[in-house]
Amino acid sequence: MNRMAFSFDTTYKGLDPGLYSPVTPKRIADPEILLLNDGLCGDLGLDPADLTADVLAGQDRAEEPIAQAYAGHQFGGFGLLGDGRAVLLGEHVHDGSRYDIQLKGSGRTPYSRRGDGNATVSSMLREYLYSSAMQSLGINTSRSLAVLETNGTVTRRRREPGAILVRVMNSHIRYGTFQYVASQIPTELPRFTDYVIDRHYPQLHATDRPYLAFFDAVMESSIGMVVDWLRVGFVHGVMNTDNMSIDGETFDYGPCAFLNYYDEGAVFSSIDTDGRYAFGNQRPILRWNLERFAEALQPLCSQSALTYEELEAKLDEFADRFDARYNSMMRRKLGISSDAHEDLVDEFLGWLRDSNADYTNTFLELENPGTFDDPAFATAEFERLQEELAAVGLNEGLMQEVNPRYIPRNYLVERALDTYLESGDLSTFNELLTVLKDPYSSKDVDPRYQQPPPREFDARYTTYCNT
């Protein structure tokens, strides 16, 4: 038994006991490590030799795990929630930084409701791949330390082997955690907020108005996260307030997908029947979520110098701040180094909407004309825009920093997962993972890694939460 693999110091257990429940992960005989992230091991100061299957699956534990309580607006409706199939093994401390080590798919908890607490191997492999890709794309994200296959089966859309993901985050505190405190134990809110500031934004304690500065910092980190999603064509798919990290970490890769053909109305999630979380709706939904977060902070107004009018004033800044970051990002994608030419950016976005061209490849074609044999790039309108951009932008160095050559093409992800389910062979999965580890550099690889699927594939492609 090795109890020294992680260096745990779990401060969350010092908070109000109503915020969590002690949990024992389900018993698993002979879990098998399918994937272990050696790079993340290095970042966390972990020796892979110490990370046995029993340690990673929560069978060999250094301390008692917990499941966290939280609330949230799910597709607009408020409810009390919690970790229904996840447990926090502990807070690992390395080199002055603190990381949550969480198991996903480790069995039932007091918050499972009607769920079984389990996870399918395909959904955990998917999260491992997407979190790795997002990290390589330079986007603030949860990270995956390992995937383990269990000896049981799990039935969702189909019957599959069960699995556990070992997820790493700065913390799993979310907008919905504040909503839970505000609705259930409001007197705890000042103490809890101070704890979160200490953990994520300690510099704010030196400001005159730390609670107001905290809301401002959360809004800024969230704007940065969503602008980065839009930069690479990422559709999160389930932007509920309980899936919004307090420090701008992307997490919960259930029904997510990447755009192929540009469509601001693109929805892939099976449960998003009204398009609430469509690609182009991620900006207004972030604003809506921040409103709910501000409401959760309202009890502080009667217990500190904070006023709700100050929070509303910060919310009023959202549109200008988001648009400034978005326009700056789009100028970089187009290789425009100055702060001007907003009209040209808007005109180009209009062309994308009308043409429905492949989003990723469009910017690579602008950088190197003739790269792709796509009728959309042979039109007079595209050539005219290219000429206008060449006069003010198309700075290759700038473009190469923000425009990926490779993204997780949805059909390639499904192919890799299906191959494993059908044959138990991870080679296709690992090949895709390797290509995505360096997405900004061209490689001598199969051209399919840059090819969008047939349009009819995207029209019917559906992703699932698999909870």
DSSP, collapsed to helix, strand or coil, labels residue 235 as strand
Q: How far apart are CA 75 and CA 239, in angstroms?
A: 8
The verdict on residue 158 lying in a domain is: yes
The contacts of residue 212 (CB under 8 Å, 6+ apart) are 306, 310, 311, 314
Position 1 scores a pLDDT of 38
Residue 311 lies in a domain: no
Query: Does the residue 98 lie in any domain?
Result: yes
Predicted confidence at residue 375, as pLDDT, reads 96
Angle, vertex CA 463, rays to CA 27 and CA 81, nearest 5: 55
The reply to whether 280 falls in a domain is no
Tokens found for residue 133: 């890709």
Helices (H), 233-337: 282-297, 308-316, 318-333
Residue 27 lies in a domain: yes
Location of structure tokens 């795990």: 65
> Rounded to whole angstroms, how far apart are CA atoms 144 and 252?
11
Nearest to 304 by CA among 465, 192, 461, 466: 192
Q: What is the pTM of this model?
A: 0.97
Other beta carbons within 10 angstroms of residue 234's beta carbon come to 26
Query: Tokens 């949805």 label which residue?
Result: 410
- Coil, strand, or helix at residue 423? helix
* Cα–Cα distance for residue pair 201/437, rounded to 1 Å: 30
299-331 in b/e form (b: 16+ CB < 10 A) is bbeeebebeeebbeebbeebeeebeebbbebbb
On whether the CB atoms of residues 392 and 408 are closer than 8 A, the answer is no
* Helix 318-333 and helix 342-355, axial crossing angle in degrees, nearest 10: 80
The candidate with the shortest Cα–Cα distance to 68, out of 7, 5, 34, 22, is: 22
Q: What is the pLDDT of residue 465?
A: 85
Domain contains 15:
yes
* Per-block mean pLDDT, blocks of 10 residues, the chain (467 long): 78 98 96 98 97 97 96 97 97 97 97 94 97 98 98 89 97 98 96 98 95 98 98 98 98 96 97 97 98 97 91 98 98 95 96 98 97 96 97 96 98 97 98 98 95 94 87
What is the domain range of residue 62? 11-169
DSSP code for 41: H
Of 228, 242, 272, 358, the catalytic one is: 242
User: CA-CA-CA-CA torsion for 231, 235, 238, 243, nearest 10 degrees?
Assistant: -30
Q: What is the DSSP string of 42-92?
A: HHTT--GGG--HHHHTTSS-SS--EEEEEEEEETTEEEEEE-SSEEEEEEE
DSSP 451: P
184 found inside a domain: no
Question: CA–CA separation, 199 vs 410, rounded Å?
Answer: 36
Q: Is residue 435 part of a domain?
A: no
Q: Which residue type sits at 88? A: L
User: Among residues 250, 237, 46, which one has the least CA distance to residue 139?
Assistant: 250
What is the predicted pLDDT for the residue at 303? 82
Residue (of 294, 266, 288) closest to 410 by Cα position: 266
User: How many distinct structural domains can be found in the chain?
Assistant: 1
> Which parts of 158-208 are beta strand (E)?
159-169
271 close to 465: Cβ distance less than 8 angstroms: yes
Provide the pLDDT for residue 2. Answer: 43
Task: Give the pLDDT of residue 138.
Answer: 98
What single string gives the DSSP state of each residue in 99-157?
A: EEEEEES----TT-TT-----BHHHHHHHHHHHHHHHHTT--B-EEEEEEEEEEEEESS
Tell me the two tokens of residue 88. 């926090």
CA dihedral 258, 83, 145, 56 (to 10 degrees): -150
User: What is the Cα–Cα distance from 420 to 427, expressed in whole angstroms?
Assistant: 8
Q: Which residue type is seen at 377?
A: F
CB 18 within 8 A of CB 82: no
Question: Is 242 marked active-site?
Answer: yes
